Amino acid sequence: MPTRKVEQAPFPVLAPDLDVTAFLTDCQVRNLAPRTLAIYRRHLQDLAAWLGRPLADGTTDDIRSYFLSLRERRNPGGQHQCFRVLRTFYRWLLSEGIIAANPMARLKAPRVPEQPLDPVPLETVTAMLKTCAGKGLLDLRDKALLLALIDTGARANELLSVNLADVDLSSGAILLRTTKAKRPRGVFLGKRARKAVLAYLRARGTLDPASPLWANDEGDRLTYWGLRQVLRRRALKAGVPAPSAHAFRRLFCLQCLKDGMSALAVQALAGHADLSTTKRYVKWALGDLAEQHAAHSPADRLLGG
C-alpha cells in the first residue's frame, strides 16, 4: 500500500510567543477588526517560525534577512503589508518596555510598484443591468444593488450592513454605521439609484425601520457571499466576466475624479484614511491620457494648423 505524502510546513512549529499573544490581546482590547487580527497573527507567526526564537530577541540584521527571504514567498504588496505589521508590533514592544531599542527604526518599507486600479467596465455594468429588467423581487433588488454599488462607492460590507432607518430616499443620503474606520460616514444615491431602491422597497411591502436594506429571498440580511453570488449570476446571464464588488468602488472613485470631483471629496465619500489612497485612482489609462492630450494639446490649441 503506497504511503501517503505528508506536506511539510515551511518552518518548524514552535511554542506560542508570549509577547505576540500579549500584543494580539491588546489589539482585541482596542477592538481591532477580526480580519486585522488575523493578518497580524499570520505575519508574526511566520517571522517567529523563521527566526526560531522570541521576536523580542530579533535584531535589525535578522529582520533584513527575513525580508530578503520574503521575496521568494510574497509579492511586493505582501512584503509591504508584513513590514507594516512588524513596525506596529515592535513599536508596541518598545512602548511596553519589553525591548530597549526598536530593531526596525532604521529600516525602510519595501517599495511597491504602482499598479493600475481597474474598475468594472461600463459595458459590463450595462450588460448586467439589462438582466435585471424583470419586475420580480430579485430583479428589482439586484438592479438597485448594482446601482447603489456604483453610486455610493461604499465597501461591500459597509453597504450590506445598512438598515432601512439609515436611508433617506428624499435626499439619497445613506448613513454607513459599520465602516472600516469604525466611524460612521455618509454616502449618497443619485436619482436613478433612488428610483430603483424605492421600487425594490415597495415590492418588499411594509418593513420595520430596523430591517436590512438588502435582503435575500428569505428576508434575511444579504451576506457578502450572497452579494458575490448575485454578481456571478448576473454576469453569467449577461455573458460577461464576473466583477468583484470592489471593482464597482473603483469605478465610483475613477469616474468621480474624471468628472471633476475634488480628490478631498472623493476621499471623504469613499472613506479613505489617507489622501494617498485616493490619488492612486488618478492614474488614468493610456486611452484616457490620449483623449485628454488631444483635447488640450498646447501646440494644436495655441499654434493651430
Lowest-pLDDT range of 4-18, 146-160, 167-181, 227-241 = 4-18
**Are 129 and 274 part of one and the same domain?**
yes
290 inside domain: no
153 inside domain: yes
pLDDT at 26 over 60: yes
Instruction: State the pLDDT at residue 304.
Output: 59
Residue-wise pLDDT tens digits, 275-289: 776 666 665 544 555
- Closest C-alpha to 75, from 102, 105, 112, 117: 112
Residue-range definition of the domain harbouring residue 89: 18-95
**Are 68 and 160 part of one and the same domain?**
no
**Are 269 and 169 part of one and the same domain?**
yes
116 inside domain: no
Residue-wise pLDDT tens digits, 50-70: 999 999 999 999 999 999 999
**Are 221 and 260 part of one and the same domain?**
yes
Task: Report the C-alpha gap between 68 and 88 in whole angstroms.
Answer: 20
Instruction: State the pLDDT at residue 54.
Output: 93
Q: Quick one: pLDDT band at residue 9, thresholds 50, 70, 90? A: very low
Count of structural domains, the chain? 2
Instruction: State the pLDDT at residue 261.
Output: 81
| CATH number where 90 lies | 1.10.150
Of residues 13 and 138, more confidence is placed in 138
303 inside domain: no
Residue-wise pLDDT tens digits, 199-235: 999 999 988 999 999 999 899 999 999 999 999 999 9
Instruction: State the pLDDT at residue 11.
Output: 46
**Are 131 and 267 part of one and the same domain?**
yes
Is 295 exposed, middle or buried, given 0-12, 13-18 or 19+ CB atoms closer than 10 A?
exposed
Instruction: State the pLDDT at residue 283.
Output: 56
| CATH number where 211 lies | 1.10.443.10
- Is the separation of the CB atoms in 165 and 212 below 8 Å? no
**Are 69 and 172 part of one and the same domain?**
no
For residue 133, which amino acid is it?
A
Mean pLDDT of the chain: 86
266 inside domain: yes
Task: Report the C-alpha gap between 70 and 82 in whole angstroms.
Answer: 9
Task: Report the C-alpha gap between 251 and 125 in whole angstroms.
Answer: 10
Residue-wise pLDDT tens digits, 80-120: 999 999 999 999 999 999 999 999 999 999 887 766 567 89
**Are 252 and 165 part of one and the same domain?**
yes
